[in-house]
């Protein structure tokens, strides 16, 4: 077990981990900054989400308040846009950008956006891979003479989790692009406010890039460790 965690291959993760820390710092900084900038229209995130959904013909999609901070998401199964309290009731550029982003996911779902459909269908497999990959790989690593095949199974399962992260990237970038477009096209933000909204959404998107980099680096590490045991 110590070999798995502290051997030299751990260095493969360092660049991705640094990127992940930078991304978290970036998103926190952008959110903190633009959550203090009131949008000129003075509308709340909930009002923005409802307006954009209605104008997209999605009156069947509801908007709900959810607990936590930055817990905003779209639930495709129940067709609900859930917004955290600072976004639901907030009227800042950050709140409006996040609300529009989650609405963008609802529009993706309604229009059959391929990458979103693929991600939703792939999620159960990716979740299984994420939960089972490391335990199986470590058992196979510790007992390589008899259970080495478990390392191979673990790698295949982890590959599904990595693929899920890769599929997520176009979904998130597209939702952010839709968000800015909808806000501008519907006159909800002024042209001078676009930069602030983009800053928040771009910072959030960077966290997905970092997560993908970490996952890919971890997969490469597992492959190297497996190669040493052959």
CA 159 – CA 140 distance, rounded (Å): 17
Q: Is 194 a catalytic residue?
A: no
Torsional class of 90: left (φ above 0), alpha (ψ -120 to 50), beta (otherwise): beta
Q: Strand pairing partners for 75?
A: 80
Could you give the C-alpha distances from 115 to 40, 56, 73, 81, 125, in angstroms and in order? 34, 20, 17, 19, 16
Question: What letter would DSSP give residue 56?
Answer: T
Instruction: Name the catalytic one among 102, 172, 193, 194.
Output: 102
Region of 57 (left: φ > 0; alpha: ψ -120 to 50; beta: rest) is left
141 near 151, Cβ under 8 Å? yes
Kindly list the catalytic residues.
102
């Amino acid at each position: 077990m110590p070999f798995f965690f502290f051997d030299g291959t751990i260095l493969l993760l360092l660049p991705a981990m640094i990127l992940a820390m930078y991304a978290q710092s970036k998103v926190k900084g952008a959110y903190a900054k633009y959550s203090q900038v009131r949008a000129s229209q003075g509308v709340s995130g909930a009002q923005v989400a409802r307006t954009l959904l209605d104008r997209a013909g999605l009156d069947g999609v509801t908007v709900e308040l959810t607990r936590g901070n930055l817990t905003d998401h779209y639930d495709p199964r129940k067709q609900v846009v859930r917004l955290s309290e600072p976004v639901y009731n907030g009227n800042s550029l950050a709140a409006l950008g996040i609300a529009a982003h989650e609405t963008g996911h609802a529009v993706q779902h309604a229009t059959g956006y391929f990458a979103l459909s693929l991600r939703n269908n792939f999620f159960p497999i990716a979740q299984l891979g994420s939960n089972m990959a490391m335990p199986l790989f470590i058992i196979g690593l510790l007992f390589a003479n008899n259970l080495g095949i478990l390392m191979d199974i673990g790698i295949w399962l982890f590959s599904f989790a990595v693929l899920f992260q890769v599929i997520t990237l176009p979904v998130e970038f597209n939702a952010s692009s839709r968000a800015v477009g909808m806000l501008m096209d519907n006159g909800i933000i002024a042209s001078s406010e676009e930069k602030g909204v983009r800053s928040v959404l771009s910072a959030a998107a960077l966290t997905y890039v970092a997560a993908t980099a970490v996952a890919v680096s971890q997969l490469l590490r597992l492959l190297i460790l497996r190669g040493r045991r052959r």
